[in-house]
Structures are given as structure tokens and as C-alpha cells.
Amino acid sequence: MAQFQEVSRQSSLHPKPAGLILQYGTAGFRTNAKQLDHIMFRMGLLATLRSKKTKATIGVMVTASHNPEEDNGVKLIDPMGEMVTPAWEDYATQLANAEQEDLLTALKDIIQKEAINMSQEAHVFVGKDTRSSSASLSQAVLDGVSCLGGLSKDYGLVTTPQLHYMVCCQNTQGKYGDATVEGYYKKLCQAFIRLTKNASNRTDDQKYLCIDGANGIGALKVREMESYLGNELQISLFNDGNKGKLNHQCGADFVKVQQKPPTGVEINPGERCCSFDGDADRIVYYYTGSDGTFHLLDGDKIATLISTYLKELLMQAGLDLKIAVVQTAYANGSSTCYLEDTMKVTVCCTKTGVKHLHHAAQEFDIGVYFEANGHGTVLFSKAAEEKIQQQAEDGNVSDEKKRAALLLQNTVSVINQTVGDAISDMLLIEAILTIKGMTVQQWDAIYSDLPNRQLKVKVADRRVIDTTDAERRAVSPAGLQEAIDGLVKKYRQARSFVRPSGTEDVVRVYAEADTQESADALAHEVSLAVYRLAGGVGDEPKPIH
Ligand code: 16G
Ligand code: MG
């Protein structure tokens, strides 16, 4: 077939370095940009097959999120804007690792296994972040698509969640919105303005927000969006990419892991600030106290704020919809207690990685999912959306119920349900704080985080660690879980778990306890146990000072 000849011809222009093996990780391929040209070309091929198979538009996003500028990566997006289904992650890995001369065989193998009709049309949306390597890498994706006769639309510079949104809009024939960046801004900003415009006593102070754009795509897109917001939000944008380096000492991951403010941002005590990550699918908030202390409001605090707000509105609207919060093992123990004991909402715990949380959240009328690192969104079932709409339009309900239902309706519109979205989450959080007349300090005071510590341990082969119970318990190597249990018992309100990272060649260790000293000591002792029982390499972990 001519298509296969074209693949052979073009693939020699995107050759795979012999012997290089890469895995489709938690969120796609991610490594030094120099190793990725063949991967991108091949993901263009795979996206085209996926499109033929699903008879729908597929997305390919070129980004390495919060990784350093030198890295890059690729994420595949399925028809409803969700992350690609796990079976196809395996195909992605197979195709990526086929040696140059075996590429056609690997491709034909997928076509045969999935019984793909090669004469079916294919459509692929492509987007990229601001990395210097992204331009040529996204061209490699486009080359892959055209080889197999697929039609592509290049959105150029967009955030990851914007591309997810476009794919969903396209495949729902515009029901979710217009598949344009302008359509995205209009939908979100109009909903935001409707949510905030009637809020009483809103002061200029409350409209003011300081954003750390991580020197990435999120900064560019916030600038683009500003004109759609009118005067409803006054943004000071820092780390907009004009001078600083992408993700370097800034961005959501830096702030969350280091538990300190990013560089390049002028923060006055008490001011509300937020940080995006490098592809704007994560957000964390923070402020500093007048004594200089740093206060982080992470994904758990965000989930708590959103679910409290939604629960109140549901009650006011007289709607009986089941709301649940989905977290991972990294969720601060205080947040889980607060949600279960005080708020009385269902809490589920899944494995790390957005696809797991997203999947679990789909089981409820309203599923609020957030990772502690700030990735998350809210999913509304179709039935829930319909009930909300009915209540908003029903002529016979009380004014109070109607008002609440209208707020819910606009809340649905401000949310990007396809994936966690820093811009959409930010608008939602700003709207909630406005409607509730709440300061960032009051939000922070809903519960107090337990002190915690995250460490990483290098081992010869991190696959020796196997976990169960949503990664909260280790089943191998032998003796490790018993050792952790013994250590946890020494501290108060303590909890600890270990898991192999899905994005880095390390084992991650998490510990929390009643004081920072205890959390630090526990994390260190558990790291030592991992080092000894799971084949640690290099120097033994040192205590934290
Ligand atoms: C990826 C995941 C994120 C997860 C992180 C864990 C997506 C879009 N991103 O960044 O959800 O928290 O990996 O990394 O799924 P780790 O396995 O190295 O700890
Ligand atoms: Mg990201």
C-alpha cells in the first residue's frame, strides 16, 4: 500500500536511535528532547490509527509539563477529551520501541489486532507548549499523521487542557463548546462573569490575583484571556516567559515540592497568589503571612473548597445529587478527615495519575477529583447536568432554589471537565471565593494540614516495589511493609507509604505526622528501609535537618 511506502520513506527522516527504549509513562513519553523525534513521528502514526478506529478526532499534545526546558514529551488525547485508554498506551510503547526496520511490522500488528479499516478518514488535533524543541517535534507528529493520510489541525501554542477541550468540542459537534481557543475563553469567561457579577460587597482587593505563569504556555494564554474578563479579575502576571527559564525555580511543582514561593514574583503579605505548571494543567494557591511564613493551598484544599461550595449550592437548590471527592494516597490526612467527618462526603482513593482519578470520579453524579499536586477538575454526570438545568428553568421553584441552580449551571460552564485545567480551576476558585465572600486566609483555615515530607530513593530497579490498596501498602519486597508499619507506630497521627515513580527512575517516599520533625524523621527512616530492602544505590539516605 502506498501509505506504508510513505511511512517507510518518512520514518527514515525520523530515525530511532538503535537500542533506545522508552515507556509511555503515567502521562505519556517524557525525556530529553533530543531523544524524541522518532517518538513524535510514531505518535502521529498511532493517533491516526486511533482516529480511524474510533471514527473521531484524536489529540496529540507536545509537552513535558513541569520538567526542565531541555526535556519534552507527548500526551495522547481520546475522543471525549480524556487521556488515551490504557490498551493504546501499550501500543504506544510497542510502536515507540520498534527498531527502524521493524516499524512497519509493529504498525501492521496494531492495525490487525484492532481490525482497523485503513480507508476510514482520520483527524488529529496537534498542540505544543513553549519549549524551544516543541516546534520541530510537533512537525514530526504532523509528518506521522500525513503519512497515513490523516488530516491534521495544528493549534500551535496551547495549554494541554485547551487541546483536551478542543478534542471534546469537536467530537460532540460543538455541544461542549466551540473547538477554538476564542470559544474556550468566551465560554469560561462568560460563565465566570455571570458567577461573580452579583456578588455583594466585592472589593478591589478581592479582585486582585497574582499569577506565576512558570515561564510557560499558561502565562501566554492568561495574557490572551485577560480581555475576555472585563474588570472582574485584576491579574498581575509574573514569570511570563520574557526573561526567566521555563519551570526554573517557579511553577506549581516547584512551589508544592519546595513549600516556598517561586522566584520572580513580588508577593505582599496576605496577597492571594497562584502558580501554574509548565503546560497549565496544575495549579496551587498560596500567600505569605505578615511574619513571612508561607501558606500553601494545594489540590486537597482546592478540592475541599470546591466540594463545600457545591454541596451548599445543591442543598440550596433542593437537588439530591451524590457528590464525591477522589484523592490519592498523597492527600493530606487532615483533608480526608475533614471531608469524611465534617463535610460527610464520600471520599475515594485511587492510584496516582490523572486517568485513575478521572475514571473514579465518573462513577458519581458529581465527582470532584484532585491530586495534592494541584491537578484536578470536577465531573458532572449527564443526569446531574440535566437536573441542574431543569431546576434553573423551572418556573415553579422558589427564588432561592432558582438562584442556586443558576449558580450551579454557570459553575458547570466555567469548568473544563475533560482534564485538570489551571486556567479553568483558577476562574472557579476565584468565583467561589467571591460568591462566599471568603479571603484566602479563611479558605486556608477550613482545616490545618498535617506536616509532611516527600523524599526519593534511588534503587537498582524500582520495579521490585509493588503496591496495593491504591498504593498505600507495599506487597514487595518482603518485609518492607512490616518495616513501615513498625516505624509509623513510633509517631503520632502518622502515615507513610512508598511507590515507584511513574515519571522518574526513583522510589517515592511520603510521610506525615503531628509535627514537621516527626514527619521528617519518619520519611528518613522509611527511606532507609527502602534503601536496605529494595536495593538502594549510591549513598545511604541522610537525615533531614
Ligand atoms: C504525572 C501525572 C500526575 C502524577 C505524576 C506522578 C498526569 C496528567 N500527570 O505528572 O497526575 O501526579 O505524574 O508522578 O497524569 P510520579 O509517578 O513521578 O510520582
Ligand atoms: Mg502538567
Q: How far does the centroid of ligand 2 lie from the alpha carbon of residue 218, in Å?
A: 10
Residues 6 or more apart whose CB falls under 8 angstroms from that of 154 comprise 126, 127, 138, 142
Atom of ligand 1 nearest to the CA of 419: 8
The answer to whether 65 is a known catalytic residue is yes
Residues 29 and 37: beta-carbon distance below 8 Å: no
Residue 2's pLDDT is: 83
Residues 35 and 55 in one domain: yes
Q: In this structure, is residue 438 part of a structural domain? A: no
Q: What is the pLDDT of residue 56?
A: 98
246 and 264 part of one domain: yes
Helix runs in 20-68, H state only:
37-54
Please identify, by atom number, the ligand 1 atom nearest to the C-alpha of residue 420.
8
pLDDT at position 126, please? 98
Measured in angstroms, how far is the CA atom of residue 299 from the centroid of ligand 1?
13
The answer as to whether 100 is a domain residue is yes
Would you say residue 543 lies in a domain? no
- Binding site for substrate, by residue number, is 371-373, 499-503, 508
Please state, in angstroms and rounded to a whole number, the distance separating the CA atoms of residues 419 and 394.
31
Ligand 1 close to Cβ of residue 3 (< 6 A):
no
Q: What CATH number does the domain containing 69 carry?
A: 3.40.120.10
- Report pLDDT for 266: 85
User: Is 143 found in the same domain as 19?
Assistant: yes
CATH of the domain at 261: 3.40.120
* Whether residue 30 is found in the same domain as residue 153: yes
Residue 206, pLDDT score: 83
Ligand 1, atom 10, residue with closest C-alpha: 27
Same-domain check for residues 9 and 148: yes
Domain end: 392, 418, 444, which one?
A: 418
Which ranges of the chain have pLDDT less than 50? none
Is 414 a domain residue?
yes
- The confidence score (pLDDT) of residue 528 equals 98
Q: Which pLDDT belongs to residue 69?
A: 96
Residue 189 lies in a domain: yes
Q: Is the CB of 277 under 6 A from ligand 1?
A: no
If one counts the domains in the chain, the total is 4
Angle between helices 422-436 and 299-317 (to 10 degrees): 50
Per-residue model confidence (pLDDT) at position 27: 85
Question: How many angstroms separate the CA atoms of 258 and 332, rounded?
Answer: 16
284 and 371 fall within a common domain? no
Residues 364 and 312 in one domain: yes
Neighbours of ion ligand 2 (CB under 5 A): 65, 277, 279, 281
Atom number in ligand 1 closest to CA 75:
8
Beta pairing partners, 323: 366
C-alpha cell at 177: 463548546
540 lies in some domain: no
| Whether the Cβ atoms of residue 122 and residue 148 lie closer than 8 Å to each other | yes
Site to probe by mutation for ligand 1, drawn from 503, 507, 508, 510 as the one with most ligand atoms within 8 Å of Cβ, is 503
Q: Name the H helices within 118-272.
A: 134-147, 160-171, 181-196, 204-207, 217-225, 252-258
Do 23 and 146 share a domain, yes or no?
yes
Q: How far is the centre of ligand 1, averaged over its atoms, from the C-alpha of 216 (Å)?
A: 18
Ligand 1 atom closest to the Cα of residue 373 is: 12
What is the residue range of 495's domain? 452-534
Instruction: For residues 198 and 246, state if they share a domain.
Output: yes
DSSP class of residue 83?
A: B
Closest CA to ligand 1's atom 5: 353
Selecting among 65, 138, 152, 527, the annotated active-site residue is 65
Check residue 451 and give its pLDDT.
95
